[in-house]
């Protein structure tokens, strides 16, 4: 007992742990923050301090999310979940589900993200510390704001915006996000500048500054002041890169390339376009892997919920059977209840199947719309055509690059035009080539692909992936 008491007294208080962790995180020292938490984890494990163990797992998960390692982040949240039933601390429950929600949001699972945020809100309502409660609520609403924006639910966006302003009226990112929405809508552009200027004096954290610089740049780009826009983008980029905010860095690289191109500096434009394409490819590769583990995690969640419900039903059924075993009426009632439940399960499965069929149809329509957009980009010689094609047909693009590494960008673009079912005449028109040149390019492409003369190139490309 004395040894245990001594161990408990030597471990770091959770408030101090979080405080040091936050300092590292705000400085962008993610590796130091992780190592610090892992070191303290050993002490909490030795002392069998459940809340400490859970806190460390949640902290590490948050750091991994910050560095775009969603797969590992979810793994650490799952570790926290294995211990969470042993604590009644509502803050830890809230933070864990908040972590799941943020990961799912970053991977595009907005509905599942909001489901986890809603669970986090239930636990947040039980937090007694008013200041902590307000801070946690703000963070949840901030993330849900992003989700509703992505889902196009504007009524929900405005409702969340009001809640955020009521909770934290001096948070600069609220004003920056409002400014960003005016930019996206391309309406009331002057309001963009008003909210950005309102946020500027409140900025303290580097990432807040970087995000604000990016929106300032977009504002000046809309005003056709591309030189000033470029200055802001250049200021934002190294901060995003330092904090490993790959998606924000990717968007900024694209904006810098566009600004240089508008200013007539094509060499710099191409340099940043290449950096954008390389980073975009890296993000897509990692995202595919992370989405796979996330889907597995979601399936596991559903199975756990189903198992929990099954146990509850079993307990209820056992009690009913025990209490009313000798009464035929209640036995019959139980039988009818089970039959009804089975019918409901069949109906639910039917509803799920119908919903999935509708989703598949929606995806098909989206793909058709994407293809139409790609064809339009090809006709307009859009420099981002190949990047967009990669997003719409990732498997086809990666198969070509992997199996035929000698193909250059022009070859890949030509394959993309054929994949889009463009006729020779349409290729002639979009690429400003002669019909003879198109046939020559097809002949040379077949040689690079190692195809015999009698193989139909168009059909071969359509059948690839």
* The two structure tokens encoding residue 315: 């307990």
Residues of the chain with pLDDT > 70, as a percent, come to: 86
Angle ∠(318,321,325) on CA atoms, nearest 5: 155
Q: What is the reported pLDDT for 263?
A: 92
Q: Is the pLDDT confidence value at 323 over 80?
A: no
* The two structure tokens encoding residue 373: 């957009």
CB 183 within 8 A of CB 219: yes
245, part of any domain: no
Among candidate residues 188, 211, 239, the one where a domain is terminated: 239
Higher-confidence residue: 254 or 4? 254
Burial 27-51 (b: 16+ CB within 10 A, else e): ebebebbbebbeebbebbeebebbb
Same domain, 195 and 331: no
Residues of the chain with pLDDT > 90, as a percent, come to: 29
Q: Is the pLDDT confidence value at 5 over 50?
A: no
Q: Is the pLDDT confidence value at 50 over 90?
A: yes
Distance separating alpha carbons of residues 253 and 255, to the nearest angstrom = 5
Rounded mean pLDDT, 78-106:
92
* The two structure tokens encoding residue 281: 């490819």
Q: Phi and psi of 360, rounded to 5°? A: -65, -40
Q: Which range marks the domain in which residue 142 is found?
A: 2-219+234-239
Q: How confident is the model at residue 49 (pLDDT cuts 50, 70, 90)?
A: very high
Same domain, 160 and 14: yes
Among candidate residues 185, 206, 239, the one where a domain is terminated: 239
Tokens 């042993």, residue located: 86
- In order, the DSSP letters of 337-369 are HHHHHHHHHHHHHHHHHHHHHHHHHHHHHHHHH
Q: Is the pLDDT confidence value at 92 over 90?
A: yes
Tokens 């168009």, residue located: 458
362, part of any domain: yes
Higher-confidence residue: 97 or 202? 97
Rounded mean pLDDT, 374-378:
88
CB atoms closer than 10 angstroms to residue 384: 16
Distance separating alpha carbons of residues 172 and 154, to the nearest angstrom = 21
310, part of any domain: no
Q: What is the reported pLDDT for 4?
A: 44
Burial 118-157 (b: 16+ CB within 10 A, else e): ebbbebbeebeeeeebeebbbbbbbbbbbbbbeeebeebb
Helices and strands, counts by H and E, the chain: 22, 0
455, part of any domain: yes
List pLDDT tens digits, range 207-240.
888 889 998 899 899 899 999 989 998 999 998 8
The 8-class DSSP code of residue 326 comes to T
Q: Output the CA torsion 341→343→349→351 (10° steps).
A: -110
Distance separating alpha carbons of residues 103 and 64, to the nearest angstrom = 10
Q: Is the pLDDT confidence value at 329 over 80?
A: no
Higher-confidence residue: 208 or 460? 460
CB 258 within 8 A of CB 387: no
Tokens 């504007």, residue located: 154
Higher-confidence residue: 93 or 25? 93
Residue ranges of E strands in 101-148: none
Q: What is the reported pLDDT for 1?
A: 41
Q: What is the reported pLDDT for 6?
A: 42
Going from the C-alpha of 387 to that of each of 9, 219, 276, the distances in angstroms are 56, 24, 9
Same domain, 214 and 65: yes
Say which range, 129-143, 151-165, 365-379, has the weakest mean pLDDT: 365-379
Q: How confident is the model at residue 305 (pLDDT cuts 50, 70, 90)?
A: low
225, part of any domain: no
Q: How many domains does the chain have?
A: 2
254, part of any domain: no
Q: How confident is the model at residue 21 (pLDDT cuts 50, 70, 90)?
A: confident
How high is the mean pLDDT of the chain? 83
393, part of any domain: yes
Q: What is the reported pLDDT for 77?
A: 93
List pLDDT tens digits, range 249-269.
888 999 999 999 999 999 999
Q: What is the reported pLDDT for 3?
A: 43
- Return the sign of the alpha-carbon dihedral for residues 356, 360, 363, 369: negative
Q: Is the pLDDT confidence value at 90 over 50?
A: yes
Burial class (CB within 10 angstroms; exposed 0-12, middle 13-18, buried 19+) of 408: exposed
Say which range, 305-314, 430-439, 441-450, has the weakest mean pLDDT: 305-314
Going from the C-alpha of 321 to that of each of 200, 326, 329, 340, the distances in angstroms are 67, 9, 12, 17
Rounded mean pLDDT, 342-361:
65
126, part of any domain: yes
Q: How confident is the model at residue 364 (pLDDT cuts 50, 70, 90)?
A: low
- For the domain that residue 112 is a member of, what is the CATH number? 1.25.40.10
List pLDDT tens digits, range 180-199.
888 887 777 888 888 888 88
Q: What is the reported pLDDT for 200?
A: 85
């Amino acid at each position: 007992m004395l040894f245990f008491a001594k161990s408990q007294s030597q471990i770091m208080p959770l408030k101090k742990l979080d405080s040091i962790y936050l300092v590292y995180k705000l400085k962008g020292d993610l590796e130091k923050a992780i190592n610090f938490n892992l070191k303290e984890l050993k002490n909490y494990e030795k002392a069998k301090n459940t809340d400490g163990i859970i806190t460390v797992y949640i902290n590490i998960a948050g750091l991994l999310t910050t560095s775009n390692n969603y797969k590992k982040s979810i793994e650490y949240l799952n570790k926290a979940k294995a211990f969470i039933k042993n604590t009644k601390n509502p803050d830890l429950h809230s933070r864990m589900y908040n972590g799941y929600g943020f990961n799912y949001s970053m991977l595009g699972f907005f509905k599942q993200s909001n489901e986890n945020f809603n669970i986090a809100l239930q636990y947040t309502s039980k937090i007694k510390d008013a200041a902590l409660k307000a801070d946690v609520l703000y963070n949840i609403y901030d993330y849900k704001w992003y989700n509703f924006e992505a889902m196009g639910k504007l009524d929900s966006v405005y409702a969340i915006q009001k809640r955020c302003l009521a909770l934290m009226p001096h948070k600069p990112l609220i004003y920056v996000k409002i400014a960003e929405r005016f930019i996206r809508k391309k309406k009331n552009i002057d309001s963009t500048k008003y909210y950005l200027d309102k946020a500027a004096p409140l900025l303290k954290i580097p990432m807040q500054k970087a995000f604000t610089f990016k929106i300032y740049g977009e504002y000046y780009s809309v005003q056709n002041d591309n030189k000033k826009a470029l200055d802001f983008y250049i200021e934002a980029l190294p901060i995003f890169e330092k904090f490993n905010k790959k998606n924000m860095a990717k968007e900024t690289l694209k904006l810098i390339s566009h600004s240089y191109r508008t200013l007539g500096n094509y060499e710099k434009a191409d340099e940043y376009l290449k950096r954008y394409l390389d980073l975009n490819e890296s993000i897509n590769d990692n995202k595919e892997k992370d989405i796979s583990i996330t889907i597995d995690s979601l399936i596991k969640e559903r199975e756990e919920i189903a198992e929990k419900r099954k146990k509850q039903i079993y307990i209820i059924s056992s009690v009913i059977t025990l209490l009313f075993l000798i009464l035929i009426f209640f036995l019959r009632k139980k039988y009818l209840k089970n039959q009804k439940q089975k019918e409901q399960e069949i109906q639910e499965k039917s509803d799920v199947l119908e919903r999935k069929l509708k989703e598949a149809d929606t995806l098909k329509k989206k793909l058709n719309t994407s293809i139409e957009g790609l064809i339009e980009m090809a006709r307009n010689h859009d420099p981002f055509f190949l990047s967009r094609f990669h997003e719409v047909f990732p498997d086809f693009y990666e198969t070509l690059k992997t199996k035929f590494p000698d193909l250059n960008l022009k070859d890949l673009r030509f394959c993309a035009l054929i994949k889009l079912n463009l006729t020779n005449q349409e290729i002639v028109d979009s690429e400003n080539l002669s019909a003879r040149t198109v046939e020559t390019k097809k002949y040379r492409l077949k040689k690079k692909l190692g195809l015999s003369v009698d193989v139909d190139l168009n059909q071969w490309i359509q059948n690839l992936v």
